[in-house]
């Protein structure tokens, strides 16, 4: 008989242990938040009856959904934004213990135990189970949008994850489609539908020039620089600079294509340049890290190219915006976690003066970069990421690049420029760069005259304590994992 694919299954309702199977469809704990499909699947995935007092559901439940009618995009979130609330449902814990028992017994007809391959003592079996349960919780059935006689989308039963503007939900909520990882006990954690960090970059940019050049006050270029892919050209040496941090985020789990984070991200940076700290203002207290520079991400800035709203690398530009819907840039003069930008030098840093029309290098004193991703109120830590920037005896000092028509054709005499030139305000001002459309950030967020040091967090366990070129570091999504960071 040839193979036949059918929508109807005659597979047994019990597993190899002759025990009930667990459904892969999660439902809300509140019966009022279950649609017809949820009720049907629930009915087919339970034993006993409520009237008989022996009802045993074999499906995982979620405690609460997003509040209907909530007009404030930052409020009304349900248990999707908690690492623990869904685990307060006793039946979820019973089903988890049921899976632990099944994976601890020899498999009938095959022999061997799951725990023989993934040892129980080291927590590997439980970590796999937690990831399985959390994938069900966060990756399936996060929205229930009915299509009754009123037309497509005319009724919304519930939204477990923060929704966009569905019927019954008047605004696009902060943290659209986000589900923070589930924590089970002290040793295991899922992935949820949540961002992590794949790269961090420190950007040093000029804020003033020795020649005094601005967008309205011309100056005489005083340094000759090499531009990758181009010819040598003249520029303005910086007298002062600042630093800011750019984090590249990544969402490893599949789900609704449109997603944006609603999280607090704490940063503690021990890196110094030219003997100076980077002067990131401390605006929050972290239970594990102490004083930190916190930015609360809650902005949706559209779905066009560069906004990162519909890709796995979402949220890269969200730290530069305030409010639940994008448009208003953060005020760099403030350090408020919601409206300011604390990953930016509060005061200017000094720059080595050039010599013989050439830029001088400056030393970078490496140090730790600690990143703590937390729930929006900062109360629960979701992930800790440990990086370490290597020291470098000489990195290029930033300079003010002269853009396009402002450069023209410099007039030279005796090997030096004698003509005066203006400099675009965006070269010296991060506010001006951020005022650009996010679609233009590829050209204006980091400029040719900036100095950038970037690194990726470690991904290989067990490499701590290696040589200075791969400084110790750790990405702690899972407790006890380790690795070594590398400077790029």
Q: Are residues 168 and 211 in the same domain?
A: no
Q: Are residues 308 and 372 in the same domain?
A: yes
Q: Are residues 203 and 167 in the same domain?
A: no
Q: Contact at 8 Å (CB) between 292 and 266?
A: yes
Q: Which of 189, 216, 244 is the endpoint of a domain?
A: 189
Q: 231: burial class by Cβ within 10 Å (0-12, 13-18, 19+)?
A: exposed
Q: Are residues 102 and 218 in the same domain?
A: no
Is residue 486 assigned to a domain?
no
349 in helix, strand or coil?
Answer: strand
Q: Which of 244, 250, 220, 60 is nearest to 139 (CA)?
A: 60
Q: Are residues 200 and 250 in the same domain?
A: yes
**What is the domain extent for residue 278?**
196-458
Supply 465's token pair: 């304590």
Q: How far apart are CA 331 and CA 43, in angstroms?
A: 53
Q: Which of 158, 189, 220 is the endpoint of a domain?
A: 189
139 in helix, strand or coil?
Answer: helix
Q: Which of 189, 224, 241 is the endpoint of a domain?
A: 189
| Residue given tokens 């779905």 in the structure block | 303
Q: Contact at 8 Å (CB) between 61 and 92?
A: yes
Q: Are residues 308 and 381 in the same domain?
A: yes
Is residue 229 assigned to a domain?
yes
Is residue 464 assigned to a domain?
no
- pLDDT tens-digit profile, the chain (488 residues): 355 566 676 667 789 899 999 999 999 999 988 888 899 999 999 998 877 778 899 999 999 999 988 888 889 999 999 999 999 999 999 999 999 999 999 999 888 899 988 887 778 999 999 999 999 999 888 988 765 555 554 555 789 999 877 778 888 888 888 999 999 988 899 999 999 999 999 999 999 999 999 999 999 999 999 877 777 899 999 999 999 999 999 888 877 777 888 999 999 999 999 999 999 999 999 999 999 999 999 877 554 434 556 666 678 888 998 876 667 899 999 989 999 999 999 999 999 999 999 999 999 999 999 999 999 999 999 999 999 999 999 999 999 999 888 888 899 998 899 999 999 999 999 999 999 887 788 889 999 999 999 999 876 543 332 222 333 334 444 333 333 232 22
Q: How far apart are CA 245 and CA 450, in angstroms?
A: 13
Q: Are residues 152 and 228 in the same domain?
A: no
Is residue 179 assigned to a domain?
yes
Rounded to the nearest 5 degrees, what angle is found at the Cα of 392, between the Cα atoms of 463 and 423?
130
Supply 170's token pair: 């008047």
Q: Are residues 139 and 275 in the same domain?
A: no
Q: Are residues 415 and 362 in the same domain?
A: yes
Cα distances from 196 to residues 42, 167, 310, 312, in angstroms, run 33, 31, 16, 10
Is residue 79 assigned to a domain?
yes
Q: How far apart are CA 132 and CA 130, in angstroms?
A: 5
Q: How far apart are CA 295 and CA 256, in angstroms?
A: 25
Is residue 360 assigned to a domain?
yes
Is residue 22 assigned to a domain?
no
Q: C-alpha 88: how far from its chain's center?
A: 26
Q: Are residues 330 and 451 in the same domain?
A: yes
Whole-structure pTM over 0.95, yes or no?
no
Is residue 80 assigned to a domain?
yes
Q: Are residues 91 and 142 in the same domain?
A: yes
Q: Contact at 8 Å (CB) between 483 and 472?
A: no
Number of domains, the chain: 2
Q: Contact at 8 Å (CB) between 473 and 388?
A: yes
């Amino acid at each position: 008989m040839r193979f036949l694919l059918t929508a109807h299954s005659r597979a047994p309702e019990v597993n190899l242990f002759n025990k009930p199977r667990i459904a892969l469809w999660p439902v809300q704990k509140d019966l009022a938040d279950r649609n017809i499909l949820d009720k049907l699947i629930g009915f087919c995935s339970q034993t006993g009856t409520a009237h008989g007092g022996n009802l045993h559901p074999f499906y995982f439940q979620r405690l609460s959904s997003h509040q209907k009618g909530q007009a404030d995009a930052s409020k009304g979130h349900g248990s999707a934004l908690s690492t623990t609330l869904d685990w307060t449902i006793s039946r979820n814990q019973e089903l988890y213990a049921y899976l632990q028992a099944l994976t601890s017994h020899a498999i009938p007809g095959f022999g061997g135990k799951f725990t023989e391959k993934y040892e129980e003592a080291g927590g590997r079996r439980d970590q796999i189970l937690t990831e399985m349960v959390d994938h069900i919780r966060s990756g399936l059935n996060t929205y229930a949008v009915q299509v009754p006689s009123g037309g497509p989308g005319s009724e919304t039963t519930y939204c477990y994850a923060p929704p966009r503007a569905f019927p019954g939900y008047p605004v696009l909520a902060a943290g659209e489609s986000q589900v923070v990882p589930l924590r089970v006990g002290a040793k295991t954690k899922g992935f949820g539908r949540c961002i992590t960090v794949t790269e961090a970059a420190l950007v040093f940019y000029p804020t003033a020039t020795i020649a005094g050049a601005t967008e309205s006050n011309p100056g005489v270029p005083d340094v000759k620089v090499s531009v990758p892919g181009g010819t040598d050209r003249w520029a303005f040496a910086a007298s002062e600079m600042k630093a800011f941090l750019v984090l590249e985020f990544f969402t490893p789990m599949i789900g609704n294509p449109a997603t944006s984070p609603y999280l607090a991200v704490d940063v503690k940076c021990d890196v110094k340049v030219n003997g100076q700290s980077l002067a990131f203002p401390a605006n929050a207290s972290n239970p594990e890290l102490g004083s930190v520079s916190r930015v609360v991400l809650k902005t949706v800035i559209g779905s066009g190219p560069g906004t990162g709203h519909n890709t796995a690398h979402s949220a890269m530009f969200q730290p530069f915006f305030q409010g639940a819907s994008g448009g208003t840039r953060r005020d760099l003069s403030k350090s408020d976690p919601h409206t300011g930008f604390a990953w930016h030098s509060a005061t200017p840093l000094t720059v080595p003066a050039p010599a013989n029309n050439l830029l001088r290098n400056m030393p970078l004193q490496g140090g730790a970069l600690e990143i703590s991703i937390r729930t929006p109120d900062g109360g629960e830590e979701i992930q800790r990421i440990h990086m370490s920037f290597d020291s470098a005896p000489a990195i290029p000092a930033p300079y003010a690049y002269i853009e396009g028509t402002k450069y023209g054709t410099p007039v030279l005499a005796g090997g030096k420029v004698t003509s005066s030139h203006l400099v675009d305000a965006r070269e010296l001002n991060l506010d001006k760069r951020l005022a650009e459309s996010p679609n233009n950030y590829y050209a204006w967020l980091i400029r040719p005259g900036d100095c950038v040091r970037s690194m990726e967090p470690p991904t290989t366990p067990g490499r701590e304590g290696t040589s200075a070129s791969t400084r110790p570091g750790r990405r702690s999504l899972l407790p006890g994992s380790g690795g070594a960071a590398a400077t790029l």
